[in-house]
Structure 1
Amino acid sequence: MALTDAAIRKAKVKEKPYMIKDERGLYIEIRPSGRRFWRLRCWEDGKEKKKSLGEYPAVSLAQARQLRDDIKSSGPLAGGTVTFKDLAEEWLEKRKKPTCVPKYIRDLSYRMDTFLFPYIGGNDVRSISAPALLTVLRKIEAEGLHETAHRVHQLVGQVMRYGVATGRCDRDISADLRGALMPPQVTHRAAIIDPQGIRGLVRAVGDLSSVVVRHALLVGIYTFVRPGELRKMEWSEIDGDLWRIPAEKMKMRRSHLVPLSLQAVDSLERVRLFSGGGKYVFPSIRTSERPMSDGTVNAALRRMGYEKKEVTGHGFRAMASTILNENGWPPDVIERQLAHVEKNTVRAAYNHAEYLDKRREMMQWWADWLDGVRF
């Protein structure tokens, strides 16, 4: 008889683990702790194997059945040897979706092709040991790429956990390497955070000859959004004194509201005379059909005499955050304006509404403060 969700929920805990069968080799194991795990019986090379499909209810009854069917269906991953490359490429394919940033997928693919596939790509995923993985990661560290080593370690963990969930590997061996890697060196975006330095910066920006570039930097300083969000700003996103950035343009894929100070609105009105007839507020110098290059802001800073180690467009965020924190603005309000989104979606929605008025006040204070040091 097939299992039901009601039967799983009502299953009593016993002193010893026991199982309740579903169909086609699928069953759920009830532990004395009350936890419930999906298992699948199947045959490989004439031997019975038990595959782990995840824990209920994180993996639902319907999902467990789908995993069972996927494993038992024909294909290179249905049975026999599954290489790490097979599993990783399947996992990566499932990461591709309309809301996913293309660069994110390219970065994952590059790490696989460069740091993993040449060494463990052809290995049976079940045969890869923690020491073998550590050897691969040590090669990356030896090149001085400590942050990359940590990211590759995380990537292997994601692939392995997918393998456990789909019954292609027994456990995530990357978990055994916690603490085994050298800590990555923490680096901060170059930023000017002292009032005297900020005075020189905003004055230098005001002297730029290109109207579009000048106001791109000013709006960037006033709003302290990420450079990619700034350069892709569209006129259709401006609603009076509010900039509504759609989710697909945001790093965390959640829409973001940016209150515009009087000074920011003035900058936009001045640049409208040059680009108001097109789609983008700050278009490319070659065509109004594309936004300005991602290097335009930093190139302007270099022409102004600022070196890369002194300030970047991304550094405007640290600059504003430092001054706002030093002047007593609530950290939650600052973080929300920086679009450092709360992971708890209920709280995030609450904060979105709760802080908008306060953020309006803060953004105007910031623009007034800038005027105070500039003049």
Structure 2
Amino acid sequence: MTLTVAEIKALKPRSKAYKKADAGGLYLHINPTGSKLWRYKFRIAGKEKLLAFGRWPEVSLASAREARDLAKQQIAKGMDPSLERKRNKAAAKVAAGTSFAVIAEEFIDRKLVAEGRADGTLKKARWFLKLLAPAIGKMPVTDVDSQMLLAALRRLEAKGNYETAKKCRSFASRVFRYAIWTGRAKNDPAASLQGALITRKAKHYAAILEPKKLGGLLRAIDSYDGHPATKFALRIAPHVFVRPGELRHAEWHEINLHDAIWTIPAGKMKARREHAVPLSNQVQNYFTQLSNITGVTGYVFPSFHTPKRPMSENTVNVAFRRMGFGKDEVTAHGLRSTASTLLNESGLWNPDAIERALAHGDSNAVRGAYSRGNYWEERVKMAQWWSDYLDQISESLSP
């Protein structure tokens, strides 16, 4: 006689475990603790075996019977259900270990971190993985095809995140290539999607390119009444024209005021090459004033909330808005364009020295390796000239 749900509910624990049969080898194992466990007894090659189907009521009577019937079908085909279960578990374990998310994490940790990539690069890589994970993160990397990936990227495009979608495709491609290198994939489905995504017209960072307007910005910075670290970041940024991330991640041990040089480690640079910034007298003075406020350890421009983190990436731009400069007038990154344009227009400096000061990559690897040696003295003079020029336009163009 088969069991009913009412009968199962009525089964009470005893001092010793006991069984209650259903049909076809399926039964309940009732423990003294009251737990009711589904078991299936069968024979393979004359040897009696057991399969566990789980606990009731988590596994219902109907589900237990379905599992029994599936096992019977396997036996009829000459298969051992217990071995098949072990194989399936092993396959699931292997699949979990070769999922896109697992391989992507491994790619970040074993390649990008090992190569000394900048913290910003690692943060972005993990962000790209977070964006892709809901769609393909749990899938074995070999099961992901170009259409699955494209669907995930189209969802980003639908939100207007066109550049992010392209960068996610590029990141996915690097993960697939890493999987190929490590023997866990045979192709890169992201490669075939190159050119499939929407390309928006390049948007340049807003920058002030007229000396008179630049003088007005410098005077506004001098009058800024916000947080001291922010004010000195605003003062220093136009003089050194490094990238915003390089500025806010500056640490005091990188600043050598005695030798007037700021050495930015390769890990913080976009080109992954150490970059030296000559410090003018004005910039040395700004750093000295700031050190008297913040001390000379940790971040030069710490977060408002904790000295363990640098200031927010939006801090300088928000300060510009507070001073009345719109996002179409000036940005932190645009200060690099300002310096590049006006230094080139002066006609006083070698264009290569200006490019080196901006830490732009050089397509010629050998030339790039020796650029500091070739242009360092000129860059030192140019840094002082530029600071003097900024002081001049700030004062002489006052209304």
Scaled by the length of structure 1, what TM-score is found?
Answer: 0.68
Offset at residue 287 of structure 1 (A): 6.8
Q: What residue number does 1:148 align with?
A: 164
Q: Which residue of 1 aligns with 2:122?
A: 105
| Partner in structure 2 of residue 61 of structure 1 | none
The whole-number CA distance in structure 2 between the counterparts of 1:286 and 1:163 is 40
Segment drifting more, 262-271 vs 165-174: 262-271
Q: Which residue of the partner structure matches residue 37 of structure 1?
A: none
How many residue pairs get aligned? The number is: 301
**2: distance between equivalents of 1:280 and 1:120?**
38
Q: How does 1:1-375 map to 2 (within 5 A)?
A: 82-95=98-111, 97=113, 99-114=116-131, 116-209=132-225, 213-236=230-253, 237-238=255-256, 239-275=258-294, 281-282=300-301, 292-328=311-347, 329-342=349-362, 345-375=365-395
Per-residue CA deviation, residues 272-299 of structure 1 (Å, 9 max, x unaligned), is 5444565555455667676555444334
Question: Per-residue displacement from partner, 1:224-277 (whole Å, max 9, x unpaired)?
Answer: 122333344444422432222233443444321111223223333444544456
Aligned residues of 2:118 and 2:269 also touching (Cα < 8 A): no
The Cα shift of 1:158 comes to 0.8
Identity of aligned residues (%): 41
- Structure 2 SS opposite 1:228: helix
Is the Cα–Cα contact under 8 Å of residues 98 and 140 in structure 2 kept in the other structure? yes
Distance of aligned partners of 1:225 and 1:75 in 2 relative to their CA distance in 1, 3 Å threshold:
farther
AA paired with 1:317? Answer: R
Return 218-227 or 101-110, whichever deviates more: 101-110
- Higher mean C-alpha deviation, range 322-331 or range 138-147: 322-331
Q: Distance in 2 between matches of 1:290 and 1:109?
A: 19
Q: Deviations over 1:13-67 (max 9, x none)?
A: xxxxxxxxxxxxxxxxxxxxxxxxxxxxxxxxxxxxxxxxxxxxxxxxxxxxxxx
Q: Is the partner of 1:257 in helix, strand or coil?
A: strand
SS of 1:243 mapped into structure 2:
strand
Comparing 267-276 with 148-157, greater Cα deviation is found at 267-276
Secondary structure of the equivalent of 2:370? helix
Tell me, what secondary structure is at the counterpart of 2:190? helix
Q: What 5-or-longer segments of structure 2 have no aligned partner?
A: 1-89
Letter aligned with residue 369 of structure 2: A
Equivalent residue for 1:53? none
Residues 272, 327 of structure 1: alpha-carbon distance in 2 compared, 3 angstrom cutoff: same
Q: Aligned-pair RMSD on alpha carbons?
A: 3.3
Query: Contact (CA 8 Å) 1:283, 1:290: kept in 2 or not?
Result: yes
CA contact (8 A) 1:82 1:124 kept: yes
2:96–2:140 contact (8 Å) kept in structure 1: no
Amino acid at match of 2:384: Q
SS of equivalent to 1:180 = coil
Return the alpha-carbon distance in structure 2 between the equivalents of residues 163 and 128 of structure 1: 12
Deviations 1:351-372 (A, max 9, x none): 1211111211222222222223
Q: Deviations over 1:301-324 (max 9, x none)?
A: 233222333222222112111212
Q: Secondary structure at the match of 2:276?
A: strand
Unaligned runs of 5+ in 1: 1-73
